[in-house]
């Protein structure tokens, strides 16, 4: 069996957020704590994570906006149960979009830090 890419938090009910890929803790420790630059392969991974997160969020956020506009025009014609279901959908999508934004932010922070470390090491440790 291969390596499992995520862990479930045992103190809560598992949900969609548990399934969203996370930046590996070892990479955070390496770059943010130990100040060791990421390898080219790790930087490529971080760039792909950032782009994938951006690509995933754009249609979600546009869809939420479209649902809101639709509801504004048809409120008299929609069953209250449907509005309730749409409310929970929007809530879940908002939570998901927030998690994806955090993933993008984490990847970009690590990528920037890694590049800063590489520049510092190439300049003999001198940074301007």
User: What pTM value is reported for the model?
Assistant: 0.69
The answer to whether the beta carbons of residues 112 and 50 sit under 8 Å apart is no
Does some domain include residue 29?
no
Q: For residue 67, give its domain range.
A: 34-115
In-domain check, residue 40: yes
Q: Is the pLDDT of residue 128 over 80?
A: no
In a domain, 83, yes or no: yes
Q: Is the pLDDT of residue 112 over 90?
A: yes
Any domain includes 87: yes
pLDDT (tens digit, 9 = 90+) per residue, 51-99? Answer: 888 888 888 889 888 888 888 888 778 888 888 888 888 888 888 888 8
What's the structural domain count of the chain? 1
Instruction: Assess if residue 127 is contained within a domain.
Output: no
Task: For 18-51, give one letter per residue: b (16+ CB within 10 A) or e.
Answer: eeeebbeeebbebbeeeeebbeeebbebbeebbe
Q: Tell me if 51 is assigned to some domain.
A: yes
pLDDT at 1 (0 to 100) = 41
Mean pLDDT of the chain: 82
């Amino acid at each position: 069996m291969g390596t499992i890419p995520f862990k479930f938090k045992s103190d809560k009910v598992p949900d969609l957020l548990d399934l969203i890929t996370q930046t590996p803790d070892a990479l955070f420790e390496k770059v943010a704590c130990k100040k060791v630059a990421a390898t080219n392969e790790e930087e490529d991974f971080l760039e792909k994570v950032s782009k994938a997160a951006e690509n995933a969020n754009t249609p979600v956020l546009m869809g939420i906006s479209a649902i809101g506009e639709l509801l504004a025009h048809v409120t008299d014609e929609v069953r209250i149960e449907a509005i309730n279901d749409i409310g929970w959908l929007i809530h879940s999508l908002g939570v998901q979009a927030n998690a994806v934004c955090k993933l993008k932010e984490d990847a970009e922070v690590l990528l920037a830090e890694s590049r800063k470390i590489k520049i510092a090491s190439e300049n003999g440790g001198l940074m301007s």
